[in-house]
């Protein structure tokens, strides 16, 4: 089974590397990073790059598509080549998925019209403008679309997908291999639980 993970300049690394760690451990998995052009693609922090060998044109029939988010997503909203590729491969994909603001790219390509989806909390209101029903759930499954909320939720989405693809036992084994048993030291992982000052600080960082 081929998993195609889309990259573009300014991607958020955990958006794609979280699902990579999970999905790449499934039986007979082939993971390929794809981009407009081959070469190094740098993340949003500027200190990590992934060397992409395959272009979008090289990958024509992936079984699963993963689109991450990040500040670079804004520029990709007008990338008609990427949108056309997403629409084309979506016709035959078993799953088309996103993490964080990657769902806005799926929405811009017209794939989520009339469906439920989630994204990073700061971008949730934008989904409605594309005919999507926004959800605050961490992972949303609607048809063959799986969308995850912000960044770390990509691991949850990938484990959910792993269970649907390979069965619960395999997914749980992968969870154990990566020792995914989060016990965060703070209860500030959502807008609903974070103190108001923390939300304000986070908004400032995102807008900067």
Q: Residue 20, CB half-sphere, CA atoms under 13 Å: how many? A: 17
- The rounded distance, in Å, linking the Cα atoms of 32 and 62 is 9
Which pair of tokens denotes residue 136? 């605050």
Could you tell me how far CA 138 lies from the centroid of its own chain? 12
Name the active-site residue from 29, 82, 86, 100: 100
Q: Are 120 and 102 in contact (CB under 8 A)?
A: no
100 is catalytic: yes
DSSP β-ladder status, 145-148 and 116-117: unpaired
H helical segments located in the chain: 13-23, 73-76, 80-90, 102-108, 153-166, 168-177, 196-207
| Summary count for the chain: helices (H), strands (E) | 7, 11
Mind telling me the catalytic residues?
A: 100
């Amino acid at each position: 089974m081929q998993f195609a993970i889309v990259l573009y300049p300014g991607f958020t690394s955990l958006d794609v590397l979280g699902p990579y760690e999970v999905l790449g451990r499934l039986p007979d998995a082939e993971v390929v990073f794809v981009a407009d052009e081959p070469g190094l693609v740098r993340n949003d922090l500027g200190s990590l790059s992934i060397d992409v060998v395959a272009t979008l044109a090289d990958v024509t029939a992936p079984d699963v598509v993963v689109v991450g988010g990040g500040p670079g997503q804004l520029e990709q909203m007008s990338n008609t080549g990427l949108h056309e590729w997403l629409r084309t491969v979506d016709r035959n994909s078993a799953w088309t998925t996103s993490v964080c603001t990657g769902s806005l790219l799926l929405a811009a390509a017209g794939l989520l019209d009339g469906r439920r989806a989630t994204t990073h909390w700061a971008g949730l209101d934008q989904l409605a403008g594309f005919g999507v029903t926004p959800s605050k759930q961490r992972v949303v499954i609607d048809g063959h679309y799986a969308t995850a909320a912000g960044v770390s939720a990509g691991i949850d989405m990938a484990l959910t997908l792993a269970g649907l693809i390979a069965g619960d036992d395999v997914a749980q084994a992968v969870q154990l291999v990566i020792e995914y048993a989060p016990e965060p030291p703070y209860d500030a992982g959502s807008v609903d639980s974070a103190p108001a000052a923390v939300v304000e600080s986070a908004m400032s960082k995102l807008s900067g």
